[in-house]
A and B are shown apart, each in its own frame.
Chain A
Amino acid sequence: GAGVSQSPRYKVAKRGQDVALRCDPISGHVSLFWYQQALGQGPEFLTYFQNEAQLDKSGLPSDRFFAERPEGSVSTLKIQRTQQEDSAVYLCASSLTPLETQYFGPGTRLLVL
């Protein structure tokens, strides 16, 4: 079946712009995770959903970051008033349950100028 998909794959934003990143998880996967990966670093946890409930948002770096998964499937990560330090690859992953293997999407590479 289809894997995790993300869009857009690349996004260039001017500082101060708002951006929205989309994740379409594997069908039937209850758990959905967002990560931020800076160059040369491992993925850093941002937030976790179980179905439509956002159970953990402890990794979101500021209140400019907001995520939702209203119907328990597709998720959107929104970044308001982007800053240069937001430039990174944003990875989405899904799993059947929180304890099982996470499968990653291709990522969205965000560049804030």
Chain B
Amino acid sequence: QKEVEQNSGPLSVPEGAIASLNCTYSDRVSQSFFWYRQYSGKSPELIMSIYSNGDKEDGRFTAQLNKASQYVSLLIRDSQPSDSATYLCAVNMFTSGTYKYIFGTGTRLKVLA
């Protein structure tokens, strides 16, 4: 079982709709969670970080964390074609004596105009 799991997609949503991206992780003691957006041929760029249970909102983006269920999600409201990208979930895990990011494989989002 992979440590961080995401549905690879593609997830297709119409312009203006809400896109919901999900991520589950295996390490119960993880404390830091991140969503990155990666356009084709580019490097990952940070969208949101979340550390506590509940919701965190930033503009059109909302991250949701449920540590009991080991689940983190990203909602994108009013989706735009420019949101079409791969969304990577990253979990900061303490393993092999150090902290490291473990990434999921990413979910490819397509926003249809």
Contacts and interface: CB of A to CB of B under 8 A. Distances in A.
A54 B43 CA distance: 23
A99 B32 contact: yes
A48 B100 contact: yes
Contacts of B4: 42
A59 B102 CA distance: 11
Contacts, number: 58
Interface residues of B, number: 27
A67 B53 CA distance: 37
Interface string A80-113: 0000000000010100001101111111000000
Interface of A is mostly: loop
Contacts of A56: 96-98, 100
Contacts of B97: 55-56
| 10 nearest A-B residue pairs (beta carbon) | A42-B103, A98-B99, A56-B98, A104-B43, A58-B96, A42-B105, A55-B98, A107-B43, A45-B100, A43-B103
Interface of B: 4, 6, 8, 31-32, 34, 36, 42-46, 49, 88, 90, 92, 96-106
Interface of A: 33, 35, 40-45, 48, 55-56, 58-59, 91, 93, 98-99, 101-107
